[in-house]
Amino acid sequence: MLDALVNGLFILLDPFRMLMLLAGVVIGIVVGILPGLGGLMGMALVLPFLFGMDPYAGIAMLIGIAAAVPSADTFPSVLMGIPGSSGSQATIMDGYPLARQGQAARALGAAFSASLVGGLIGALALTALVPFARPIVLAFGSPELFMLTLLGLSMVGVLSGNRPLLGIIAGVFGVLIGTIGGAPVAAEYRFVFGELYLYDGISLVILALGLFALPEIIDLLARGGAIAERSPGLGGGWLQGVRDTLRHKWLVVRHSLFGIFIGFIPGMGSSIIDWLNYGYVVQTSRDRSRFGKGDIRGVIAPESANNAREGGVLMPTLLFGVPGSSAMALFLGALLIFGVQPGPQLLRDELDLVFVIIWSLALGNVFGTLLCLLLSRPIAALTFVPFYYLAPVVLIIVILGAFQETRHWGDLLLLFGFGLLGWVMKRIGMPRPPLLIGFILSSLAERYLWMSYNLYDWEWLYRPMVLAIGGVTLTLVIAGILVKRRATRETP
Amino acid sequence: MAPDSPQTSLQRWLVWLIEWLDLLFLVLLVPIFAYVYWASQGFMLGARLFPSYVAIFGLVLIGLELLRRIIKRGVVAVGRGPATADLELDEEQRSLAGYGRGLIMFAWLVGFYGLIYLIGLLWATAIFVPVFLVLQFRARWWISLLLAGGLMGLIYLLHLTLRLRWPPGVFLN
C-alpha cells in the first residue's frame, strides 16, 4: 500500500502530468468564477480533448478542475453576493457582508485557507479509507455491485432536485438512453433505427456537453451583461483571514469531516453540504449574533466542508463505481474512456492510479489556493467581462469538442438535441444530473444484472449483502428526503 | 371588457403551455418508455432483460408522478430548495419573456449551424461571431472582429497541435 502511495506521487510528478494538473486548476478557477459553469461544465469541456492522452495526465487534469472549483467559486460569492456555483451559496451569507464592510480580502483569505485545509483533509481521509475498504470491496460480487449502482441512481435521483420522483424518472430516462446501440451482453443492436451513426451508442461527451454546457451558455446569454457591474475592491487583510482560519482550526477540522461524510453519500449535492454546514455552525455556536452580518465562521465552515467534500464524493466513485456527484459521474465516464474500470478491479489492479487521483486532489487544492491568492486581482476582474464576449469562446470549444467524437454531423445534431432537452429540463425543474448518471451507469448496471442472472438466476435477490444494500438504499432514500427537506427549510 | 386580440390569445396560450410544460414532458415520455418495452420483446434474452425492466419501472414511476399531480391538482412544487448542479432559475427566467429570450439564442445557434453546414466551422466563426455580438448585444465591432480572429486562430492552433478536425462545410472546408 505504501509503495503504491509513493509510486502514485512519482507518476504524477512527471512534468507533462503536472502541467495538465495545473491546466485543470486554471480551467477550474475560470469555470468556478462564472456562475452556472461549475466543475461538471469544466470537465465536460475538456473531456473531448483527452482522447488519446496519457490517462494519468488526463485524470490529473479532471481532478485539478474538481479541486479548484470549490475555491474559485468563492470570488463572486464574497465580492458580488452571487454564487459562483451551487456549492458556494451559503458563503454569501457572511462573506458578502464582510466585503461590504471593506473586508473582502479577509473573507477571501479565510475562505481560501479553510478550503486548502479542507481539501487536504479530504485527500487524507480518502487515503486512510483505501486500506480498510479494499478487502470489503473485493468481496463484492456482481449482484452486490448491481445493487450499489441502484443505490447510487436512487440517491442521486432523490437528492438532486426539488421533486424526488422526477429525479428518479430522469435517472431511468438516462438509463434508457444508455441502452441505445450495441447490447453489452448480446450480439444485438438496440433502438438504432437503421442509423449506422447510432450503432456505437450515444457519446457521453455529447450528452454531457448538450445537457449542461449548451443550456448554461444560452441562459447566460439570454440574461446578458457581466456578472458584476462595478468593482467592489478587495481591500487588505489577507493575513488576517488566514489567521482567522488558524484561530478556528477545530471548526475547520470538524466541518471538513462533516463535508467528507455527507459527500460520501451519493447525490448529496454541494449546495446541500453548503447549507447543512452553515446551519450546523450557526446552531453549534454560542454567540450567533454576528451570523448573517459578517461572521468569519460563516465563511470558514462551508468553505472547508466544500473542498473536503471532493474527497468524500471520490470514495463511492472509486471504490464502488457509484458516482458521488454529477461531476464525479463525468469523471467516472472519463475513467471508462481511459479503459479504467472503477470498483474492485481498480483497487485490485490499479492501486497506483487511485493514489495518483488522491495526490492530484491534494496538489490541485494547493495549486488552486495559491493561484486564487496570488492572482486574486485579475481573477476578480474576470467577473466584469460581459458574458457575451466569453460565450463564443465556450460555444466554439463545445462544438469543436462534440465534433471530435465521430466527426459526423450527427454529433452536432445530437449536441443541439440534448442542449434543447437540458434547457427544457432546467425550466421544468427536472434535475439533469440523474439523467447523466443513469446514462453512465446503464452499461455497468446491465452487465452486473446479466452476470447475476446468469450465475444465480433470480436467487441472487436473496443474498444477504444484496438484501442489506437494498435495506440501506431504502433507509438512505428516506433519510435523504428528510435531510433535503431540512436543508431546503434552512435555505433563506 | 374588450375582446381579446389574437396576440393576447397567443400569449395566453403560450403561458398555459409553459405552465404545463412539465406535465407535457412527462406525458411525452410515456410513448418512449412504452416503445422501448415493445421493441425490447423482439431482442434475444441478453439484450431484452435490462431495457424491458427499466421501461416498466419508468412507466410505473411516471404513473405515480401523474397520480401525484392529479391528487395535488396540478400544484407545481418548484421550490427554492437547492439542487445538485443548477443554480436556481428566477421567476423572470421562467416567464414567457425569459423563454422568448432563450429561444432567440437557440435561433442564433440554428443560424450558426446553418453557416457551419455551408462554409465549415472556421469561416462560419469569422462571420457569425461579429454579426451575433454586434446585432444582438450592440458589442463594439472592433472587439468582436478581434474575438472572431482570435477564435479562428484557436481553432487552427487546436487543429495543428491536437489534430482536431473542425466540421467542414458544403462549399468551404
Q: Is B55 on the interface with A (CB under 8 A)?
A: yes
| ipTM beyond cut 0.90 | no
Q: Of all helices (H) and strands (E), which one includes residue A189?
A: strand A189-190
Separation in Å, CA of B149 to nearest CA in chain A: 11
The helix or strand, by DSSP H or E, that contains position A485, with its residue range, turns out to be: helix A464-490
- Per-residue pLDDT band at B80 (split at 50, 70, 90): very low
Would you say residue B73 has pLDDT above 70?
Answer: no
Measure B118 CA to nearest chain A CA, in Å. 12
Residues of A in contact with B156 (CB under 8 A): none
Is the pLDDT at B39 greater than 90? The verdict is yes
Find chain B residues with C-beta within 8 A of A35's C-beta: 87
Nearest CA in chain A to B41: A190
C-alpha cell at A176: 434508457
Taking a C-beta distance cutoff of 8 angstroms, is the pair A368, A72 a contact?
Answer: yes
User: Which candidate in B54, B66, B86, B112 is best for mutational testing of the A interface (most A CBs within 10 A)?
Assistant: B86
The predicted pLDDT at position A189 comes to 92
Name the pLDDT band for B1 (thresholds 50, 70, 90): very low
Q: Please report which helix (H) or strand (E) contains residue A455, including its range.
A: helix A433-456
User: β-pairing, A189-190 with A181-182?
Assistant: antiparallel
Are the CB atoms for A168 and A441 separated by under 8 Å?
Answer: no
Q: 3-state DSSP call for residue A102?
A: coil
Task: Looking at the complex, report in whole angstroms how far the Cα of residue A446 sits from the nearest Cα belonging to chain B.
Answer: 6
Average pLDDT of the residues in B130-138:
93
Contact A211, A435 (CB under 8 A): yes
Do the beta carbons of residue A433 and residue B85 sit within 8 Å?
yes
Neighbours of B28 (CB within 10 A): 9
Chain B interface disruption, residue of A40, A43, A166, most B CBs within 10 A: A166
- Residue A344: per-residue pLDDT: 77
- The Cα–Cα gap between B86 and A212 comes to 9
**pLDDT beyond 70 at B126:** yes
| Cβ pair A160:B77 closer than 8 A | no
B151:A392 CB<8 A: yes
Residue B155 half-sphere exposure, CB side, CA atoms within 13 Å? Answer: 29
> In 10 A of CB B37, how many CB atoms?
17
* CB neighbour burial string for A316-350, b if at least 16 within 10 angstroms, e if fewer: bbbbbbbbbbbbbbbbbbbbbbbebebbbebbeeb
Per-residue pLDDT at A18: 94
Q: Residue A491 has what pLDDT?
A: 53
Contact A69, A38 (CB under 8 A): yes
Find residue A181's DSSP bridge partners: A190
Residue (of B158, B49, B89) closest to A223 by Cα position: B89
Residue A406, phi then psi, degrees to nearest 5 = -130, 0
B74 has pLDDT over 60:
no
B chain contacts of residue A188, beta-carbon cutoff 8 Å: 43-44, 46-47
Residue B63 pLDDT exceeds 90:
yes
**At residue B131, does pLDDT exceed 80?**
yes
Q: How far apart are CA A241 and CA A229, in angstroms?
A: 26
Closest CA to A4 of A350, A403, A471: A350
Q: Which residues contact A280 (CB under 8 A, 6 or more apart)?
A: A255, A258, A301
Q: How much is the CA Rg of chain A, to the nearest whole Å?
A: 22
pLDDT at B158 over 50: yes
Q: Which residue in this structure is represented by grid cell 434475444?
A: B44
**What's residue A129's pLDDT?**
84
Average pLDDT, chain B: 83
| Position B148 confidence tier, pLDDT thresholds 50, 70, 90 | very high
Report the predicted TM-score, pTM, of the whole model to 2 decimal places: 0.80
Q: In the prediction, which pLDDT does B144 show? A: 94
**Chain B partners within 8 Å of A390 (Cβ):** none
Sequence-ordered alpha helix ranges (H) in A34-141: 39-46, 55-72, 74-80, 91-100, 104-138
pLDDT, residue B84, reads 39
User: Taking CB atoms and an 8 Å cutoff, what residues of chain B touch A330?
Assistant: none
B135 and A CB contact within 8 Å:
no
Question: What pLDDT sits at residue B32?
Answer: 95
Chain-centre distance for alpha carbon A187: 35
The grid coordinates listed for A115 are: 478550503
Tell me how far apart the alpha carbons of residues A78 and A76 are, in angstroms, rounded to a whole number.
Answer: 6
Measured from the Cβ of residue B118, the count of other Cβ atoms closer than 10 Å reads: 14
Most A-contacting residue of B87, B94, B101, B136 (CB-CB within 10 A), to test interface: B87
Look up residue A156 and give its three cell numbers.
442521486
Region class of A284: left (phi > 0), else alpha (psi between -120 and 50), else beta: alpha
Does the CA dihedral B50-B56-B57-B62 come out positive or negative?
Answer: positive
Residue-level pLDDT, tens digit, chain A, 492 residues:
778 888 888 998 999 999 999 999 999 888 887 766 677 778 888 888 887 788 899 999 999 998 888 888 888 788 777 676 767 777 888 888 888 777 888 888 899 899 889 889 988 888 888 877 777 777 778 888 888 888 877 776 666 666 778 888 998 999 999 999 988 888 889 999 988 899 989 988 888 888 888 888 888 888 776 555 555 566 667 788 888 889 988 999 998 998 888 777 766 666 667 777 888 888 788 777 787 778 889 889 888 888 888 888 888 888 888 777 778 888 888 888 888 888 777 877 888 888 899 899 889 989 998 888 887 777 767 666 788 888 898 899 889 888 887 888 999 999 999 999 999 998 888 888 888 888 888 888 898 888 898 888 888 889 988 999 889 888 877 876 776 666 666 555
Name the residue with cell 481532478.
Answer: A63
Question: Is B125 part of the contact surface with chain A (CB cutoff 8 Å)?
Answer: yes
Q: Which chain A residues contact residue B89 at CB under 8 A?
A: 219, 426-427
Give the mean pLDDT of B2-16.
Answer: 69
Specify the 3-state DSSP secondary structure of A182: strand
Question: Which member of A223, A271, A419 has the closest CB to residue B82?
Answer: A271
